[in-house]
């Protein structure tokens, strides 16, 4: 049975429409993969790199404040310096917890009895960024950095104790309590530098993650028609 010309035209037109729909669907899927891969960089990877940098700043600030504490000869000013120091310690813990758990996780919100999450909310960071949980490699480095940071805190506790004691007793020569504070300062510097190095490795790893995400975006874009 011969088809009429009109029927043939309609059939050909419908086939063409169907083909175009298939091509459009494939293109849409590929563009979605490109967008998804591209979004990984600003929304997943950059916040982790920022968090590692902020943690390093916190360590450096803690170390600088201990130097200021050691140079201070007015006992009445020591509590103020100590309070600033505690803030830097809390900042470090907050950023590390963000990398280790991810800021949307229950573990982050429950860290240190909810204290970490309370700081996150107080600083308004919940409205600015979301840190995705770091890779296994990052988590390992964060744990190592935290271990050095804990040793740093042990030494800074000695610094504050012995220096305040030295000032109270008005023994400012390199003897007694002041000498012990000096020894603790050397150890504190060593541990803070080790913690800094570990967080620098975290930042490097985050940079590698960003590179991999960009490569994935480029590959998806290359496949798009």
Contact 61, 83 (CB under 8 A): no
Is the pLDDT reported for residue 114 higher than 60?
yes
Is the pLDDT reported for residue 86 higher than 90?
yes
Max mean pLDDT range (109-123, 131-145, 164-178, 187-201)? 109-123
> Domain-by-domain residue ranges, the chain?
43-205
Q: What percent of the chain has pLDDT above 70?
A: 68
Read off the pLDDT of residues 183-222 as tens digits, 9 standing for 90 and up. Answer: 888 888 888 888 878 888 887 887 777 677 666 655 655 5
Q: How many CB atoms lie within 10 A of CB 53?
A: 16
Is the pLDDT reported for residue 224 higher than 60?
no
Beta-carbon contacts of residue 107 (< 8 Å; ≥ 6 apart): 100, 101
Quickly list DSSP for the chain: -PPPHHHHHHHHHHHHHHHHHHHHHHHHHHHHHHHHHHHHIIIIIHHHHHHHHHHHHHHHHHHHHHHHHHH---GGGHHHHHHHHHHHHHHHHHHHHHHHH-TTSHHHHHGGGGHHHHHHHHTTGGGT--PPPPPHHHHHHHHHHHHHHHHHHHHHHHHHHHHHHHHHTT--SSSHHHHHHHHHHHHHHHHHHHHHHHHHHHHHHHHHHHHHHHHHHHHHHHH--
Is the pLDDT reported for residue 165 higher than 80?
yes
The residue among 157 and 166 whose pLDDT is bigger is 157
Q: What is the pTM of this model?
A: 0.69
Is the pLDDT reported for residue 1 higher than 70?
no
Read off the pLDDT of residues 154-164 as tens digits, 9 standing for 90 and up. Answer: 999 998 988 88
Is the pLDDT reported for residue 68 higher than 60?
yes
Contact 155, 188 (CB under 8 A): yes
CA 119 from centroid of its chain's CA atoms: 15
* For range 40-47, the mean pLDDT: 53
* For range 101-115, the mean pLDDT: 91
* For range 144-157, the mean pLDDT: 91
- Mean pLDDT, rounded, of the chain: 76
CA 224 from centroid of its chain's CA atoms: 33
For position 170, what pLDDT does the model report? 65
């Amino acid at each position: 049975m011969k088809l009429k010309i009109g029927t043939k035209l309609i059939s050909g037109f419908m086939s063409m429409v169907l083909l175009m729909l298939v091509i459009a669907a494939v293109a849409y899927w590929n563009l979605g993969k490109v967008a998804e891969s591209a979004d990984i960089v600003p929304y997943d990877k950059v916040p982790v790199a920022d968090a590692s940098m902020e943690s390093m700043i916190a360590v450096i600030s803690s170390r600088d404040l201990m130097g200021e504490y050691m140079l201070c000869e007015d006992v009445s000013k020591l509590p103020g310096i100590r309070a600033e120091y505690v803030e830097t310690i809390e900042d470090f813990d907050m950023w590390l917890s963000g990398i280790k758990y991810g800021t949307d996780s229950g573990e982050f919100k429950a860290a240190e009895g909810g204290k970490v999450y309370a700081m996150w909310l107080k600083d308004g960071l919940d409205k600015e960024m979301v840190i995705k949980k770091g890779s296994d490699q990052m988590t390992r480095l964060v744990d190592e950095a935290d271990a050095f940071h804990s040793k740093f805190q042990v030494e800074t506790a000695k610094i504050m104790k012995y220096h305040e004691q030295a000032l109270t007793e008005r023994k400012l020569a390199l003897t007694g309590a002041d000498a012990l504070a000096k020894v603790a300062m050397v150890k504190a510097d060593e541990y803070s530098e080790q913690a800094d190095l570990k967080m620098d490795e975290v930042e490097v790893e985050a940079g590698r993650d960003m590179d991999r995400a960009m490569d994935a975006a480029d590959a998806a874009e290359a496949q798009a028609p």
